[in-house]
Amino acid sequence: MLKYLVAVICCIFSFAPLFAQQHQLMPVPKEVIWGEQRFQIDKGFHVVLNDTSASRAGKAVVRFLRRLDNRTQLLINKEFFRKPLNGVGPYLVIQYDRKGLLKPGEEESYSLQITGDQAILKAATDIGIVYGLETFLQLVASDNLGYYVNGVTINDQPRFVWRGLLIDVCRHFSPIDVITRNIDAMAMVKMNVLHLHLSEDQGFRIESKVFPKLHLLGSNGDYYTQEQIKYIIQYASDRGIRVVPEFDIPGHATSWFVGYPELAAAKGPYSIEKKFGVFGPSMDPTKKQTYKFLNKFLTEMCNLFPDEYFHIGGDENNGKQWDDNKNIQEYMRKHNIKNNHELQNYFNGKLLSILQKNKKKMIGWDEILQPGLPNDAVIQSWRGKEGLKEAATKGHQVILSNGYYIDLVQPAWKLYANDPAPSDLKLSDNEQKLILGGEATMWAELVTPENIDSRIWPRTAAIAERLWSPADVNAVNDMYRRLDIMNIRLEEIGVQHIINQEMMLRRIAQSNEITPLLNLVNVVEPLKDYKRHSQGIPYSTDLPFTRLPDIAFPDAKEARVFKMLCEQLVMKKDTTAKIEIEKQLLGWKNNHNELALISRNIPALKDWEKLSLLLQDVAAIGLESLQKMNNRTTVTDQWVTDSNKKLKEAALPVQESELMVVESVMMLFQYALPK
């Protein structure tokens, strides 16, 4: 069925060999000119680089050679050389001018020229070299003659300077190996900012040597030591990725108060929050003690994190503790502070002065955009494009996250269509320049180390392309074709988005016989947006996140391909799709009996059995619809009524999950009705 996903390639690519027409590059480079020659890769392949193995470029080359050899098994030399080896094998020459600085606006461009007898990668900085090596790996193909790269000239640079991924390590903690493998995945798709959300109501996740009760009492033992943070920062730096810390204050701060209740606007004691949502505890912005504490703590963290940007959160402070605190209310009257927005603006001003003293630029969520906020504060927009536009028109640099909330499990096409700077935003040229880029946000209410990778990848690769590639690279079908390829590539560097799904299924089934479960999971998606929280399950950090909606992928490929087949038949009247449609429907119809055998002695699968029975009914209606199309048999009123009722029932959520083929079968059903 994958052949139906193949789309016409973007017009920026010239007509050339088949490989060029069906390129596998993601994100798409700015300029690609395909050639006719073939650069053969054999065991003599080597890299020429006048550098040391400890440099960023040197480390990137060693990783590149190992990944290439793991894929080709050619036993390639894992070292690089200062000059070509005379008469021995093809080689890649790497040249760059200087070490790149990890800051927005740094030169990230590169050029890659490959002919039949040579390959040359050039960049102004070693960061460009890191990106160019990723592109080279994506170009490697194979046939019966061996491994090769098609001749090509690539001139590439990003559209936006800020291409980020936020990982919330507070609501559910992510161990260091989760972070490092996701850094590797970010590098594959040329993302350059890792935003770590380090404090929250549910946990304080970093060691403080100045105030140790923050992590000792506020983390349940799950936190990063400062040495681990340094390791993460260096690991990311080697891949051209910056690490930006976030400490969310004054709200979302319960974990701070477990060890230091005197910071709060209401008396303690406090305990780490287990549930999710917006809670009352907030810092007292009227106490001098609060700022003495924050000055010492923020200075400690500023010294630990070298990036010039520092995120202070600032979102969703409901102000309840401020309203109920007589001393705070008196302070506001005395200082002519009219409301809680002005009080938080006062608080933010104090934070800004601390960060400026430490030579940092402050970032905050939309809520910090209040009158009097200095222009050098950066706004991260999560509530909508209007907030982004307002910030830019007021002279603030902005980062878009609205529309990139990957925890809401929206499909890749929807994320891909979200542009930080659409043509209809109506900003001046100078205001457009203030849009730094965007950030995917992986909030962790509903993820654990087992399934976090499947919530981030592969969909974030679509966001990465939107932030890197030219705006006119927007063909959805071709994006999905290349995303399927990237999905497999991500496993190359250890991402566990695919393998963990089958592991979770085996755990439930207590068996290797999971095919019927997998057949169901492949056409199911978790409820989107925040709908899971309204289905009666009291979600908290104590719950097992091993249920059907935690296992199902956010963008079910089989359901998507099936929909395309149905559209091909119904809308384009292409009857060749019928064979594939019928085959798929028969498989789903017959799957239920096998799944029922597995689930009969496993109580945890009872809801699965209900959903499987619905899939069986839906598949049967689809098959009957095809039969009525083929044979022109009479459609009875009773069949129409019964089928419509079953389809509507099947569209309802079961165990916070949706059956994603109902809409497609409804299309077949309606097509079979008399016109």
Q: Which residues are catalytic?
A: 316
Whole-angstrom distance, CA of residue 627 vs CA of residue 385: 48
- Please report how many Cα atoms fall inside a 13 Å half-sphere around the Cα of residue 58, on the Cβ side: 10
Q: Is 282 exposed, middle or buried (0-12, 13-18, 19+ CB in 10 A)?
A: buried
Give the CA distances from residue 146 to residues 43, 47, 73, 143, 618, in Å, rounded to whole numbers and listed in that order.
11, 19, 11, 5, 46
DSSP lists the bridge partners of residue 27 as none
Whole-angstrom distance, CA of residue 548 vs CA of residue 605: 9
DSSP lists the bridge partners of residue 123 as 96, 110
Q: 355-361 contacts: CB < 8 A, separation 24 or more?
A: 355/298, 355/302, 355/310, 355/312, 357/299, 358/298, 358/299, 358/302, 358/303, 358/310, 359/302, 359/308, 360/302, 360/308, 360/309, 360/310, 361/308, 361/309, 361/310
DSSP lists the bridge partners of residue 246 as 197, 311
Is residue 202 within 8 A of residue 281, CB to CB? The reply is no
Residue with tokens 């755990």: 507
456: left (phi over 0), alpha (psi -120 to 50) or beta: alpha
Whole-angstrom distance, CA of residue 552 vs CA of residue 328: 48
Residue with tokens 């542009």: 419
Q: What residues contact residue 584 under an 8 Å CB cut-off, 6+ apart?
A: 1, 558, 562, 565
Buried b (16+ CB within 10 A) or exposed e, 144-166: eeebbbbbbebebbbbbbbbbbb
Q: What are phi and psi of 378, to 5 degrees?
A: -100, 140
Q: What are phi and psi of 37, to 5 degrees?
A: -80, 170
Q: How many residues does the chain have?
A: 675
Task: Cite the beta strand spans of 108-160 per DSSP E.
Answer: 110-114, 119-125, 140-143, 146-156
Is residue 577 within 8 A of residue 566, CB to CB? The reply is yes
C-alpha dihedral (486, 490, 492, 496), degrees to nearest 10? -140
Is residue 415 within 8 A of residue 403, CB to CB? The reply is yes
Task: Cite the beta strand spans of 209-251 per DSSP E.
Answer: 242-247
Distance of CA 343 to the CA centre of its chain: 34
- Assigned token pair, 423: 């043509």
Is residue 381 within 8 A of residue 396, CB to CB? The reply is no
